[in-house]
Chains A and B, each alone.
Chain A
Amino acid sequence: QSVLTQPPSVSAAPGQKVTITCSGSSSNIGDNDVSWYQHLPGTAPKLLIYDNNERPSGIPDRFSGSKSGTSATLGITGLQTGDEAAYYCGTWDSSLSIAVFGGGTKLTVL
């Protein structure tokens, strides 16, 4: 049981837009910045978004993030087959003093 809650799966057609939600509480998302990761099988997770809505160098602007209260959202536009992966949200929990991740969302590009 993950501290942060994500939908297990989402799907959309190529070229479309998808959003992935991450729900937490006042001690984690409500009190700290959120990061998002893309994880392809057999590879290292890749940082997509940090500080809720910032993209590291090299991450296309098709990926965006937002946060409101105790929830965060990852948006992906112009879906490509190469975007098929698991996506994880992560943050710090101030009460538990631990880093926490969501359970992951598997994106299928139909």
Chain B
Amino acid sequence: QVQLQESGPGLVKASETLSLTCTVSLYSIRSGYYWGWIRQPPGKGLEWIGSIYRGGNTFDNPSLKSRVTISVDTSKNQFSLRLTSVTAADTAVYYCARQKGTTGKFDYWGQGALVTVSS
């Protein structure tokens, strides 16, 4: 069973950069699939942030206005998210997940990491 685990600071100051890493176990990122980030602000629904393929090709949500960078490190079987110039609106639980191509199918998810943006 594929396992994903998010890690990173739980508190980030406004205007700074949020950085999270997702470590994948029991499946090699090199084998395929897209690897995505999804977030859920308090009291709100799910929002797709972006995804990356093993070769580094990425898709991201234009609503985040080019603040997103997603990268992959196949040697560590990890992929990462950087979100710059954060505000309180970026406070959310951040999930990493495995995505089947360019679809809405995310079949394995991490447990989620709460990131709070403080002023």
Interface contact A101-B111, CB-CB below 8 Å? no
Count contacts on A: residues with CB < 8 A to the other chain: 30
Which residue of chain B has its CB nearest to the CB of A47?
B107
Bound Cα distance from A58 to B19, whole angstroms? 34
Which segment, of B20-28, B72-80, B83-91, B98-106, faces chain A? B98-106
Q: A56 contacts which of B103, B104, B107 (Cβ < 8 Å)?
A: B107
Chain B window 10-51, contacts with chain A (Cβ cutoff 8 Å), 1 for yes, 0 for no: 000000000000000000000000001010000001111001
Interface contact B62-A88, CB-CB below 8 Å? no
Q: How would you classify the secondary structure of chain A's contact residues: helix, strand, loop or mixed?
A: strand
Interface contact B103-A33, CB-CB below 8 Å? yes
Interface contact B104-A99, CB-CB below 8 Å? yes
Interface contact B45-A99, CB-CB below 8 Å? no
Bound Cα distance from A35 to B109, whole angstroms? 14
Chain A window 21-65, contacts with chain B (Cβ cutoff 8 Å), 1 for yes, 0 for no: 000000000001111010100011111001100001000000000
Q: List 16 A-B contacts (CB under 8 A).
A: A32-B103, A35-B103, A35-B106, A37-B46, A39-B46, A45-B95, A47-B106, A56-B107, A88-B45, A90-B104, A98-B48, A98-B61, A99-B106, A101-B38, A101-B104, A103-B45
* B interface with A by C-beta (< 8 Å): 36, 38, 45-48, 51, 59, 61-62, 95, 99-100, 102-107, 109-112
* A interface with B by C-beta (< 8 Å): 2, 32-35, 37, 39, 43-47, 50-51, 56, 86, 88-92, 96-104
